[in-house]
Structure 1
Amino acid sequence: MARTLVVKATAGTDAPERCAQALTVAATAAAAGIDVSLWLTGESSWLAVPGRAQEFELPHSAPLAELLHVLLTEGRVTVCTQCAARREITEADVLPGVRIAGAAVFVEESMADGAQALVY
């Protein structure tokens, strides 16, 4: 049975190391051929908006725009419905391939057979 890694990023520029760690782990797993689903919640929701990941800088971290590209190519990227609504981010505002979905979908993905969820 194939395993799935579900990673929830709960921070953005407000906690850059935590944000970068979440994307680094998710992108590394995706590049290794693991099925990955990245959830952007809280301030990390902004990374789904074009140009925002390019603005993120953290010394000694891979560029988040590159990590996000890997995840959009090799995995799935979702923005939390409530988090998007609080920031007035709509489907029309996000990068191609990013979906907006709610807690029920997160729970379904996290609880699926073979799934491992990590929250940063």
Structure 2
Amino acid sequence: MKRSLVVKVTAGLDAPERCSQAFTVAAVAVAGGVDVSLWLTGESAWFGVPGRAAEFTLPEAAPLSDLLDAILAGGKVTVCTQCAARRGITGADVIEGVRIAGAQVFVQEAMADDAQALVY
């Protein structure tokens, strides 16, 4: 049985190390063949918008835009519905392949029999 990993990142530029760790774990899991779903909540919601990940820098860390591309190539990326609404982000604003969804979808993914969930 193939395992799945749901990663919820709540930090953005306000906590760059925590944000980078979440993206790194998700990208490494995708590279390892794990089914990954990365949830962008709080300030990380901005990274679902084109160009925002490229603005993120953290010394000694992989570029966030590269990590996001790797995750999108082999996993799912979701911006939280309420987080998007609070920031004026709509479906027309997000990167191709990024969806906007709410808590019900998160709970379904996190509670799947083969799922492991991490929150950063």
TM-score category, normalised to shorter length: over 0.9
- The answer to whether the aligner puts 1:3 opposite 2:32 as a matched pair is no
After superposition, where does 1:1-120 map in structure 2 within 5 Å? 1-120=1-120
Distance 2:97 2:119 in 1: 22
Q: Of Structure 1 and Structure 2, which has the larger fraction of its residues in helix?
A: 1
TM-score of the pair, normalised by structure 1: 0.99
Question: Following superposition, which runs of at least 4 residues in structure 1 exceed 4 angstroms of deviation?
Answer: none
Unaligned runs of 5+ in 2: none
Provide the C-alpha distance between the structure 2 equivalents of 1:74 and 1:114, rounded to a whole number of angstroms: 18
**Unmatched 5+ residue regions in structure 1?**
none
Partner Cα distance (1:32, 1:66) in 2: 16
TM-score, scaled to structure 2: 0.99
Aligned-CA RMSD value: 0.4
Equivalent position amino acid for 1:17 in 2:
E
Deviation at 1:2, TM superposition (A): 1.1
